[in-house]
Amino acid sequence: MTVRPARTRSLHSLLHTFLVVVAVLPPAALVVFLVGSLLLSGGQASATMDVKWDVVVPYPLFTVPAVVLLVLAAVSVVLAILVVLTARRGDEVGLRGLFGPLIAATLSSVILSGVAPDGGTRRGDVIWGDQLMAAPLSAAAVVIVIVGAVWVGRRRWAADA
């Protein structure tokens, strides 16, 4: 059996991995909040819901501070720019793979601002938390990656023609 040496990772590959990790953190926090609320807060996942069984930890289980989501969203924008700038021909498939995590991060900011608001303002019967401010930044990262995937794909088609 021959052992092949490991390939060194490119800068693009490392940046891509960091972007995936940063993008997955808000959805992971949302899943932990929802499952934890289901198990520990008597099934109460928002202030408007009723408790369905005995409460171990009162609602809200925890709140994700807006500053954490804002920092993650800003880092995702910077990483998205760097990932697109370091992409080569043929990397558009990897760029398209970033759509899901980045869209999930955007939606997680919106959902967390509604179910466990940190600060926020009242709009009608709902209090939207300050976490909502992270959604446009996360959406900007999505747009950057979409434009980058199209740009890299066009470079590939132009080179093949």
Q: Could you count the other beta carbons within 10 Å of the beta carbon of residue 85?
A: 11
Query: Where along the chain do its domains lie?
Result: 11-160
The pLDDT, as a whole number, for residue 147 is 94
3-state secondary structure the chain: CCCCCCCCCCHHHHHHHHHHHHHHHHHHHHHHHHHHHHHHCCCCCCCCCCCCCCCCCCCCCCCCCHHHHHHHHHHHHHHHHHHHHCCCCCCHHHHHCCHHHHHHHHHHHHHHHHHCCCCCEEECCEEECHHHHHHHHHHHHHHHHHHHHHHHHHHHHHHHC
Residues of the chain with pLDDT under 50: none
What six digits make up the tokens of 17? Answer: 């991995």
The pLDDT, as a whole number, for residue 118 is 81
Residues 6+ apart with CB under 8 A from 146: 99
The answer to whether the CB of 109 falls within 8 A of the CB of 69 is yes
The answer to whether the CB of 42 falls within 8 A of the CB of 123 is no
Residues 6+ apart with CB under 8 A from 65: 118
The pLDDT, as a whole number, for residue 6 is 54
The pLDDT, as a whole number, for residue 115 is 85
CA distances from 50 to 43, 55, 140 (A): 8, 11, 36
